[in-house]
Amino acid sequence: MIRLGALRAGRRAVAGPTAGVALAQPLATASTTAKQSKPKAAPKTDQPASSASTTPPAPNTRPLSASAALSKTSKRLTRFDVPHGSDREKQLSPLIPRSRYTHYPLPALLRTTEHPSCATMSARDFIHNSLYNPHYGYFSKHARIFQVTQPVEFTKLPSTLEFMNTVGDQYAQVEAKLARDVDDVTRQIWHTPTELFKPYFGYAVAKHVLDAYRAEGNTGAPLVVYEVGGGNGTLMANILDYLQQHAPEVYATARYSIVEISASLAAIQRETAKRHGHAAKVDIINTSILDDASPVCTDPCFVIAMEVVDNLAHDVVRADLATGAPLSAVVTTDQFHDHTEEYAPVTDPTLARALYLHAVADHPLPRFNHPIHDPWGTCAARLPLGRTLVPKIPFAPNLSQRAFVPTMHVRFAEQIAKRFPLHKLVLADFSTLPDTIDARAMNAPVVQTRFKGSMVPVGTYLVQPGFFDVFFPTEFAAAQRVHDLVRVEGYDVDEVTDRAWRYIAALGSGDERKAREVVAEQPRGEARAKVLSQRAFLQRNADLKATTTKSGENPLLMYYENCAFLVS
């Protein structure tokens, strides 16, 4: 294994833009930021906060860090917690050797009630566990989705600035209520366009679904919808409300299911369905869409995934510059709960397929750097002479820059293609994100939390599990090709996995010609999916007159410009 050294660290994001970047203050203070030029892109966000380090400093040696503000139950022993004295060296000496660490596959990791020490796991499993562990995961315990208490009447607002102030006032009310109920350190609130622009954003999705349903001419078949990750149930309620008002004959036979991994959100969704009078039409399935227990539908249906794939765990991969072989990151957690990133040969079949399918889609990962951004000349390492010369350059790296590979997005695409073979997809998420942990890495995530109402982004994903949101941009051009590839008739996971291993072996041996031959073996099929910017999707489907302020500005189009739709 290639050891990079321990990385310590203490982030989600809000949905409102200020001059092309994410809000760095609570929405309640938006009046001071919205005066800038026309808003542009903005990522998803909580109103974040907490530590920038999972390792608190020694007492009485420097100012108290944010991590020290964590509740006593959330603090963990670190090397700095060992008291000074004659026995300090003795207490530190019996370090548990790496050979005695326990490897945790994901099922075992999800059964833990606190993050294990003296443990190893893949980077993908570390991220997934941090977000979804049922006992201490971010979404299981700390995250709240902000809901506007009353839908905003855009036509009565003088400008977008007033919209921000209106939402900010409502946010302050929600924040004050949660402050009485939830410890400040663990309270995480984030925003989605579905919630900020309800019901109009949901109505736009409903119109797209209804138009596509009618275009198929299936007037006798019921409209069947499966939503993955339903949040508070707001999108479900808006879609069914729209069908009830604009297509009562379709609503009469429609069926709507939500596949929700979070038990707490599943309960909220049931209450939302009951409150809107749709309980008889809605089925809440409390499981992961990636589980074998997830539903199956062989009839024509729609699969909706709004801001879901950004929270699907990624693998971290680098290429060995000497051989070209891809190496995947392994996270080790020592007895002091310090996390270290190591690299080992790829052994996971899902990761192997993800790397192979991205190569077939003409988006290989990891990619070697452009010379302008590559002062060490690692591009040249792929050439025979470069493999000899580059390692001799003083302090030259032996690995390429990191690439965050959307392994679980590939698994998601395979799963819905298998379990919903006649589905039409409506997927929306972030195409780009500011403030990622590594500007040089491909598909690097934003990692952030909130502390005392302020968003705190950090520079690593190796953070205390459960207190930080980790979310990734989606490379939509690659995602489009991958979704088309897995829907090719006769797509067989075992056959693709076999090709993937041969592709990786060819890379490792430096035989690029053989690698290209293996890539050419994969059937391409027809193009079914297409990518639309969120603005283009809304211009086509939204009621823009109802969301335009008196000044002529339209917040629905001005915000979340860094989002896109993938539809089929």
pLDDT in tens, 103-135: 999 999 999 999 998 999 999 999 999 998 988
Contact 397, 437 (CB under 8 A): no
Residues linked to residue 530 through DSSP beta bridges, in sequence order: 567
Residue 394 in domain? yes
- The pLDDT of residue 511 is 83
- The pLDDT of residue 560 is 86
Whether residue 342 is predicted with pLDDT greater than 50 in this model: the reply is: yes
Q: State the residue range of the domain holding 389.
A: 372-400
**526 Cβ partners below 8 Å, 6+ apart?**
484
Mean pLDDT of 26-37: 36
Mean pLDDT of 319-333: 88
- The pLDDT of residue 37 is 43
Strands 2-7 and 17-18, by their bridges, are: unpaired
Length of the chain: 568
Burial 16-41, CB ≥16 within 10 A → b, else e: bbbeebbbbbbbbbbeebbeeeebeb
Residue 383 in domain? yes
Q: In this predicted model, which residue has the larger pLDDT, 367 or 198?
A: 198
Residue that the structure tokens 């102030």 belong to: 165
Using a 10 angstrom Cβ sphere, with 0-12 exposed, 13-18 middle and 19 or more buried, the burial of residue 440 is exposed
Rounded Cα–Cα distance for residues 110 and 168 (Å)? 36
Contact 354, 312 (CB under 8 A): no
Residue 382 in domain? yes
Instruction: List the alpha helices (DSSP H) in 61-199.
Output: 88-92, 106-110, 123-132, 160-181, 193-196
Rounded Cα–Cα distance for residues 301 and 36 (Å)? 43
Residue 347 in domain? no
Q: In this predicted model, which residue has the larger pLDDT, 391 or 264?
A: 264
Contact 76, 53 (CB under 8 A): no
Residue 388 in domain? yes
Whether residue 225 is predicted with pLDDT greater than 60 in this model: the reply is: yes
**The pair of three-digit structure tokens given for residue 353, joined into one six-digit string:** 């397929």
Whether residue 281 is predicted with pLDDT greater than 60 in this model: the reply is: yes
**The pair of three-digit structure tokens given for residue 449, joined into one six-digit string:** 């939390």
State the Cα angle at 509 between 503 and 513, rounded to 5°: 60
Is the backbone peptide bond immediately before 366 cis, with ω within 30 degrees of 0? yes
- The pLDDT of residue 525 is 77
Residue 237 in domain? no
Rounded Cα–Cα distance for residues 23 and 457 (Å)? 12
Least-confidence region, from 377-386, 437-446, 514-523: 377-386
Give the C-alpha distances (Å, rounded to integers) separating 162 from 18, 137, 168, 207, 553.
Answer: 14, 36, 9, 28, 11
Contact 23, 14 (CB under 8 A): yes
**12 Cβ partners below 8 Å, 6+ apart?**
44, 45, 46, 48, 143, 188, 190, 446, 448, 449, 469, 471
Residue 381 in domain? yes
Mean pLDDT of 413-417: 94
Q: Name the domain count of the chain.
A: 1
- The pLDDT of residue 377 is 41
- Provide, rounded to the nearest whole percent, the portion of the chain with pLDDT above 70: 72
* DSSP reduced 3-state for 17: strand
What are the DSSP calls for 224-285, one per residue? EEEEES-TTSHHHHHHHHHHHHH-HHHHHH-EEEEE-S-HHHHHHHHHHHHHTT-GGGEEEE
Residue 395 in domain? yes
- The pLDDT of residue 490 is 84
Work out the angle between the directed axes of helices 200-215 and 234-246 (0-180°, nearest 10).
60
